[in-house]
A and B are shown apart, each in its own frame.
Chain A
Amino acid sequence: MSLALIVALPFLGAAIPGVAIHAGRNAAAILTGAITALALLLLLSHAPAVLRGELVQTRIDWLPALGLNATFFLDGLGLLFAGMILGIGLLIILYARFYLAKSDPMGQFYSYLLLFQGAMVGIVLSDNILLLLIFWELTSLSSFLLIGYWKHLPEGRQGARMALAVTGGGGLAMIAGMLILGNITGSYDLTVILQNKDLIQASPWYLPALILILLGAFTKSAQFPFHFWLPHAMAAPTPVSAYLHSATMVKAGLFLMARMWPVLAGTPEWFWIVATTGLVTMVMAAKIAFFKDDLKALLAFSTVSHLGLITMLLGFGTKAAATVAVFHIINHATFKAALFMSAGIVDHEAHTRDLSRLGGLRTLMPITFGIVTLASLSMAGIPPLNGFLSKELMLEEAAHTTWLTPWAMGLLATIGAAFSVAYSFRFLAHGFLGPVRDDYPHKPHDPGFGLWAAPAFLALLVVLIGLFPMLTAEWLVDVAAGAVTGEPVAVKIKHWHGLDTPALWMSLAAIGGGLLLLGSYPRLRAIWDAAPRPEAKRIFDGLIEPLATLARSVTEGLHNGNFGRALTLAVLTIAGVALWAFLGGAHAAGTRALLPIDPVVTGIWAVMLVAAAATPFLHRNRVTALLLTGIVGLLIAPLFVLFSAPDLALTQISVEVVTVLLMLLALHFLPKETPAESPVPRRVRDAAVAGIAGLGIGGLAYAIMTRQPAFDPISAFHLAQSKPGAGGTNAVNTIIVDFRGYDTYGEIIVLGIAALVIFALSETLLRNPEVTRLLATRPRDRESGDRHPMMLVVATRLLLPMAMLVGVYIYLRGHNMPGGGFVAGLVFAIAYLMQYMASGYEWSHARQRYDHHALIGWGVLVASLAGVGAWFFGLPFLTSGYEYVSLWPLEKFELATAAIFDLGVFLCVLGAVLLTLASLSRLALRTGERANTHAYDTEGGR
């Protein structure tokens, strides 16, 4: 449990500083420190066991199905890293308290810091690679926040984005790599995976997995060619840089390589990829660092260089080299963190980090000078400091490694070392030695104890480890290296290896060469400045920016709201896919006996087709187009009749009438002409697209009509049960109100919703002053100026009651004869529409006594309750019963509960049409129309 707690503590505590900051900056700092300290204590409580060589484990099942579990384990390596993360974390918290300005939101800073800390500890303690991946990406995210902490700085924002892109991207590659490892070994638990070296290295998936995982490690540890994000992350406040780039974030990659070392290392692939990358990174970065004027930039590249050094050592694949790597990880953390903090101090005091503007600080900032001297000499590898010990061992390993030639590795390592001597001394010389200047941006002097305490402590470690390595570090190196190599390690760290060791001469050469380089700095600098060199940021932006611009143009270009293109693509896709599917199956021609050609039908058919075919040519005059549409619609009705679908015919006619009338009214608000916009080629293309679809649908229709269904249609049951089961002779109606009454239930609700939507939109339009102004001022249309024909007015007055009677009749007979609530509702509605057409908006509007919303609502309620009623008989929704009733003078008819449902249909339909009508009228009333105000306002009326 407690291992999980060590990881959880920083996360749980992350909220605290945000709250504590209200109690002051000290409170926030102390609480943050307390959380970290507590985690550190918990960790140390396990140290004895680990040092005894035991494996501390915690397992909490999370997602067993996937093999993702909250399992943690602590071994030497984990102990070393967790110790560094939490220990240096404490120092950073102290340092940051005094570094950050009053204006900086410190609570936020500590929260981010704790999140990051938790993620780092999670990485190094995870026993499950999926869990490790989670923490891995969490470090990317939290470091994004830390690096972008000074959000007002553009470099900060860009640096943060770059770091996230590179390290997060690498993390994604690593996901794939880890999953492959899991597939090979059949488990995502590290402790299992680490047992399966042979299995993994024998697998054909070894190389892909290796490359993908190394992508993650290299990006995180800023290895060439992914090194460029790290210097740009320096826009972060110095405490962040000191933390991320000395002990934590960038060490995560090294940790991973060390963690996976037992199963991935030892192959030629590993050697060539890892050792080469490390070597190149070490030399290249050391060289760049030498020429950097910004203290933090210099340290950044030196960090990259040292990371390369450690990567190279891990790449050698030998136990000895791995041990040295572990040792150097410790040393680098100590002196690099101290140097970053010192650089921050200089920046803080002198208000500049530019070496060209510094110098002579030795006398002004003696304490800082002392710290920097120790740390930078250690970085240069000067005995007896700890940096010397590990570098000596590194050179020894390099000297004994054959890379291309037996001596190339040793030579390049020495060159790298020489540059690192050079930039270390330059840091010291150009920053602190030399004469005191009088042009510092701000008069520098040593800061308060709070700011230099942390680096001083680290400098002390540098010395102690340097003087008494066997006492201070050896035991830790042993357990950690033991964990890496999988075998007990007992390293002997000495200052003097004797004259016959190549390392001695290599370090001497390095120091000499370094001093030489520093001596000839001005000349070299001139060459350097003259030489063209690729600027990493420019390359990165050169990749990302065009990508983003491309994405922008593709996205917004494709999805620019061009309806025609979208529809064309859709139609062609559907047609193409349908054809592809059709050709993939077997098709037998239909065997059904066909109907003889009927002259009447053919006549109607011909007229309908002519009207339809004419529409595309005449559609620009919208009234004409609407009339043609109406003709086609009306002509479909007789077809229905002749093909034995009277109900369809009735519905088709009534719906068609209402539709056309509504569209006519709507046309009142729209232009009467459609401008000729599309050029001929486009029309031809559209015609072709439409034609393809038409062919397809026509073909399908023919294929259906000419064959028998594969199985007996379920409608046989409906015909058989219509009378006995549903109590109606009209099978279509019994299906509508009974067998499939639920469809109808949905259908009328669709109508009701339609009306509500129409009402809501008209409301919104009327609330829009812009629209109402437009309405009031739009030119009066000729049509609307007409007077109402007297005949029509009178006719409609008479029509209304008759229509209603017809409606009632249609409603009542519906169950047995063609008709029903729906058609009845429409008939009623048409009667009203006629009034409206004849006598104008205002008159009809004034006479719509009852609220149409209520009609719709009651319709839905009645229909629903008719359905729910069945529950009380223990029957499902919409179960109907019926009884025969004879009601003079009507023919004997049967009253089914379905009739109640049908009543709901009737109400809903009527309400829907009337509400639509009313909404249109309300709009129309706002138009400049002054005619048609009086009911009998007919020709010659006045």
Chain B
Amino acid sequence: MNHWIIAPVVLPAIVAALMVTLLRGHLALQRMASLAAILALNAVALALIWSAATNGPEAYFLGDWPAPFGITLMLDRLSALMVALLALLALISALYAIGSGWDAKGAHFHPLLMFLLMGIGGAFLTGDAFNLFVFFEVLLIASYGLMIHGGGSARTRAGIQYIAFNLVASSLFLFALALLYGVTGTLNMADLALKLPALPEGDTALLRVAAVMLILVFAIKGALVPLQFWLPGTYANAPGVVAAMFAVMTKIGAYAAIRFGTLVFPPDLPATGTVLVDLLRPAALVTLAVGAIGVLGAATLPRLAAFAGIASTGTVFVAISAFTPATVSAALYYTLHSTLATAALFLVADLVARRRAHVRLVDPAPIAQSGLIAALYMAAAIALAGMPPLSGFIGKLLILDAFRDQAPLVWTAILVSSFLMILGFARAGSQLFWKPAETDIAPDAPGPEPLAFAATFALLAALVALTVFAGPVTEALTTTAAGLFDAQAYIAANGLGATP
């Protein structure tokens, strides 16, 4: 019984509870508690990666009820990896929030951050379809609070749309789950994987509807076209550090799509067949295009970052949508890369926004400490446009290589979108950092903020590491992807099916 599996959920929850009870109103103490908790989370994440790599998939039966009757948490290489990614991003975001003073701009930043971590961690670790919904809601409501942190008219009103749209998504999620239960009578994902192959012919139509409804929920989280409209307004209006943290949230959609597409509705399941592929492939390609065009066309740097994020999820979903080990492992590499890269760009955008008279790209305005920020911007831009030498290039090579058989379509989409993004980033960059300003009304520079800059550097350093150690990383990801397509091990870990 490996209690560490529940730690990424319980630890932040308890710390958050302590923050609102004992530490309420003591920002300094909350910051310490926050960092301590996140550091612990990082340690736990590493332990989980090690455990998953050595012991294979492992279940945690909550309430000691056997699957599928209770709720099971499932630790496997993928969930461990995602938790680790979350923990790393959380550490950097927390440092930035502290360094930039964002967390002092309103109440309850750190408790909400803790709850966000709890929700995301729970979503990555759960092995139960309905419980996934519950933790989606936990992370969402925490994200609502973080998104409107600091207030302001535009931000609050963008937040309303964000909530409203996600509530529709949640309703869709519930319809899908109820449908799934109504047809199969079970909610445990391993149990579903075990039973669905035996589904009576007459129920396939309803199951397919449930399947696509679920995938569409994840598509909304991943902001796939035409369900992406909520994202730019939300991310561009959210506090920069929160937007950076949100970079992992679109990837939750990707994670869930991978999980359900490989475990519950694998391509070889007769009932659903290639329905996921047929649905996701075109959507993902269009998303990539919309994101790339957005990078070229966005009116402000935060919005540019948002569209770069859309393009990156588009790329990830393109890779996912083939549901083969090769493409999924490429997708995982690109997920790691694009999460960190998008976050970096959002942090840079925030550094700029707080040092510039306005956010518009046109009509230039001076930026305090522009030299250093320009360098950071260029690095982030290179990473997101998929230019060498950063991991974006390797990620794209991996995807292109994995799609040799559909070269004309996928290659064109990815390379052309890279071109558009190069144009967009170059234009925006020279507008922001090169074009001399007619006016010299710079806002009072918010000081050096060493911690904020260090956090941004840390993200780029992580990208460099991802590049240098691309060999071992991809090796691990290949094993991870291979494990995903071995549903039997996952099912057996739940104590279901033929006992190992």
Q: Interface on A for B, CB 8 Å cutoff?
A: 61-66, 68, 130, 133-135, 137-138, 141, 144, 148, 151-152, 157, 160-161, 164-165, 168-169, 172-173, 175-176, 179-180, 183, 544, 547-548, 550-556, 558-559, 561-563, 565-567, 569-570, 573-574, 577-578, 580-588, 697, 700, 703-704, 707, 709-715, 717-718, 721, 725, 738-743, 746-747, 749-750, 753-754, 756-757, 759-761, 763-765, 767-768, 851, 853-854, 856-858, 860-861, 864, 867-868, 870-871, 874-880
Contacts and interface: CB of A to CB of B under 8 A. Distances in A.
A561 B158 contact: yes
A59 to B, nearest CB: 13
A135 B63 CA distance: 56
A161 B430 CA distance: 8
Contact of B156 (A704, A718, A761, A870): A761
Given A138-B388, A578-B212, A749-B118, A756 B18 contact: no
Contact of B275 (A168, A561, A581, A875): A581
A183 B402 CA distance: 11
B422 A165 contact: yes
A584 B178 CA distance: 21
A188 to B, nearest CB: 9
B186 A718 contact: no
Q: Is the interface of A mostly helix, strand, loop or mixed?
A: helix
13 contacts: A168-B387, A552-B297, A561-B161, A563-B161, A746-B135, A756-B107, A760-B106, A760-B145, A761-B156, A764-B150, A857-B18, A860-B17, A876-B1
B495 interface: no
Contacts of B290: 555, 558
B422 A168 contact: yes
A89 to B, nearest CB: 20
B420 interface: yes
Interface in B36-69: 60-65, 68-69
Given A561-B233, A753-B145, A760-B145, A714 B191 contact: yes
A875 B64 CA distance: 7
Contacts of B21: 853-854, 857-858, 861
Contact of B213 (A578, A587, A709, A858): A578
A548 B220 contact: no
A172 B415 contact: yes
B253 to A, nearest CB: 14
A148 B426 CA distance: 11
Interface of B: 1, 3, 6, 10, 13-14, 16-22, 24, 60-65, 68-71, 106-108, 111-112, 115, 118-119, 122, 130-131, 134-135, 137-138, 141-142, 144-145, 148-151, 156, 158, 161, 164-165, 168, 172, 175, 178-179, 181-188, 191, 195, 198-209, 211-213, 216, 220, 226-227, 229-230, 232-233, 271, 273, 275, 279, 290, 293-294, 296-299, 303, 307, 382, 387-389, 393-394, 397-398, 400-401, 404, 407, 411, 415-416, 418-420, 422-424, 426-427, 430, 433-436, 470-471, 474-475, 478
A569 B398 contact: no
Contacts of B307: 555
Contacts of B427: 161, 548
B20 A586 contact: no
Contact of B397 (A66, A757, A860): A66
B430 A712 contact: no
Contacts of B422: 164-165, 168-169
Contact of B415 (A173, A183, A577, A711): A173
Nearest to A152: B436
Nearest to A572: B226
Given A164-B422, A587-B202, A861-B14, A68 B141 contact: no
Contacts of B420: 551
A757 B141 contact: yes
The 4 closest A-B pairs by CB, nearest first: A588-B202, A551-B297, A857-B21, A713-B185
A714 B188 contact: yes
Contact of A584 (B135, B181, B191, B208): B208
Nearest to A898: B63
A552 B299 contact: yes
A138 B378 CA distance: 13
B179 A700 contact: yes
A578 B179 CA distance: 12
Given A709-B185, A749-B138, A858-B21, A878 B475 contact: no
A165 B400 CA distance: 21
Contact of A551 (B19, B22, B294, B397): B294
Contact of B209 (A63, A553, A561, A582): A582
Given A133-B388, A709-B185, A853-B24, A754 B397 contact: no
Contacts of A581: 205, 208-209, 211-212, 275, 279
B138 A853 contact: no
Nearest to B292: A551
Of A697, A739, A761, A768, which is in contact with the most chain B CB atoms at under 10 Å from its CB?
Answer: A761
Contacts of A747: 134, 137
A288 to B, nearest CB: 27
Contacts of B293: 551, 554-555
Contact of A134 (B271, B389, B426, B434): B389
Contacts of A704: 178-179, 182-183, 206
A741 B63 contact: yes
Contact of A157 (B24, B205, B297, B430): B430
B387 A544 contact: no
Given A573-B226, A864-B13, 12 more contacts: A134-B388, A138-B388, A141-B382, A160-B426, A176-B400, A566-B161, A585-B206, A750-B137, A756-B112, A860-B14, A861-B21, A879-B62
Given A709-B185, A853-B24, A64 B227 contact: no
Given A712-B185, A742-B71, A763-B107, A555 B206 contact: no
A183 B184 CA distance: 45
A586 B430 CA distance: 57
Contacts of B202: 586-588
Given A547-B296, A588-B200, A700-B175, A760 B137 contact: no
A220 to B, nearest CB: 15
B326 to A, nearest CB: 10
Given A63-B470, A754-B141, A137 B388 contact: yes
A725 to B, nearest CB: 8
A585 B211 CA distance: 12
Contacts of A860: 13-14, 16-17
A762 to B, nearest CB: 9
Nearest to B382: A141
Nearest to B115: A753
Nearest to A170: B419
A165 B385 CA distance: 13
Given A62-B471, A555-B297, A577-B279, A742 B131 contact: yes
A64 B407 CA distance: 21
Contacts of B206: 582, 585, 587, 700, 703-704
B397 A743 contact: no
Contacts of B389: 134, 138
Contact of A65 (B207, B213, B478): B478
A312 B172 CA distance: 63
